[in-house]
């Protein structure tokens, strides 16, 4: 496996682990006991994590790259 693909996989797993760890952790920037506002930081962190994963997976791709079905 290429180093760049392995690096993307590791970074993706780390981003997902950090986001899940934050969402599960009882320590929050805004305590969850505050109705509505408490969950806002969880939603923002999860959305940023999703954007980070997508950006990580799309880095280096050209818009006209075709899917290589031989890898499937």
pLDDT for position 18: 94
pTM: 0.70
Question: pLDDT tens digits, residue range 1-49?
Answer: 688 788 888 999 999 999 999 988 888 787 777 778 878 888 999 999 9
Single out the residue of 37, 35, 42, 36 nearest to residue 18, CA to CA: 42
Q: How many whole angstroms separate alpha carbon 8 and alpha carbon 29? A: 28
Bigger pLDDT: 18 vs 58? 18
Q: How many whole angstroms separate alpha carbon 71 and alpha carbon 36? A: 44
Q: How many whole angstroms separate alpha carbon 11 and alpha carbon 43? A: 21
């Amino acid at each position: 496996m290429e180093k760049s693909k392995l690096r993307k996989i590791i970074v993706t797993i780390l981003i997902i682990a950090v986001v899940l760890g934050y969402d599960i952790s009882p320590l929050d920037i805004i305590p969850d006991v505050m109705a509505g506002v408490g969950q806002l930081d969880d939603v923002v962190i999860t959305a940023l994590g999703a954007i980070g994963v997508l950006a990580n997976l799309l880095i280096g791709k050209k818009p006209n790259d075709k899917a290589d079905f031989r890898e499937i």
